[in-house]
Amino acid sequence: MRYFILSDIHSNIEALEACVQRAKQAGYDSVLCCGDIVGYGPNPVEAIDGIRQLNAVTIRGNHDRVAAGLDEPTQFNPHARRAVYWTRAALPEPYLDYLTKLPLGPLDITAEAQLVHGALTHEDDYIFTEADADENFQLTDKPLTFFGHSHFPVVFCSEEKGNSLQPISYEFDEFIAVKCESGKKLLINPGSVGQPRDGDPRASFAIWDADRARIEFYRVEYDLTLTQEKMRAANLPGYLIDRLAHGR
Ligand SMILES: [Fe+2]
């Protein structure tokens, strides 16, 4: 069984389509999404349609929650807040309803794996450091936890003494695979489809091959100039437009 793992699409349909195309070449059986389908980008309707067409098992992200009107963007920076209000206005009622009904993580996928948006501690918490990872490892017995929110593709592996961090690098290739070892727990971020922040502007996703016990990470180029043009036409904040080109 091969699971196509997506996170943080952020209304970027060009990036989503590029990931789907690449994942089809690589092969997958089902789709999992760690949330933040909308927010920041210019195509929230198309992003939701895309996720639904994939029959993705998905949890909500903080942007989905706020765009749905379940919460107000009081913790958001001014750019993100402006994008949330734009997204709310752009979404027809059935789409807002879809976001409202997305489940809150953690969500069990199999006996081995679960999804969370930010962290097991809270959907809005970030897992950036080994200390963050350690706090989360103590809250679960699941070997695999897929998370998003930070927009950094990364794997944290539990060790008997603390945790070891395995930052994922794409400098040499567009593909890398990480082995799942029995007895160890992994926290896995597939990276962000629609707004990567690790310095690489290419869209990011992962495939969990359960039979081969490995996680594959992929990067794909997409037409970000087109996404930026649409954002300009929608009068979305310049900061959000510029950052796509830098992957920051
Ligand atoms: Fe996000």
Q: Which residues pair with 177 in a beta bridge?
A: 216
Superfamily of chain region 2-246: Metallo-dependent phosphatases (3.60.21.10)
State the distance from the centre of ligand 1 to the C-alpha of 138, rounded, in angstroms: 24
Q: Please, what sign has the CA dihedral across residues 3, 195, 47, 175?
A: negative
**How far is the C-alpha of 171 from the C-alpha of 104, rounded, in Å?**
34
- The structural domains of the chain, with segments of one domain joined by +, span 2-246
pTM of the entire structure? Answer: 0.95
State the distance from the centre of ligand 1 to the C-alpha of 55, rounded, in angstroms: 20
State the distance from the centre of ligand 1 to the C-alpha of 171, rounded, in angstroms: 23
Kindly report, residue by residue over 124-180, the tens digit of the pLDDT. Answer: 999 999 899 999 999 999 999 999 999 999 999 887 666 666 666 555 566 777 777
Assign 103 to helix, strand or coil: coil
125: CB partners within 8 A, 6+ apart: 118, 119, 132, 149
State the distance from the centre of ligand 1 to the C-alpha of 125, rounded, in angstroms: 11
The pLDDT value given to residue 173: 61
DSSP assignment of 191-245: --SS---SS--SEEEEEEETTTTEEEEEEE---HHHHHHHHHHTT--HHHHHHHH
Kindly report, residue by residue over 26-56, the tens digit of the pLDDT. Answer: 999 999 999 999 999 999 999 999 999 999 9
CB-proximal residues (5 Å) to ion ligand 1:
8, 36
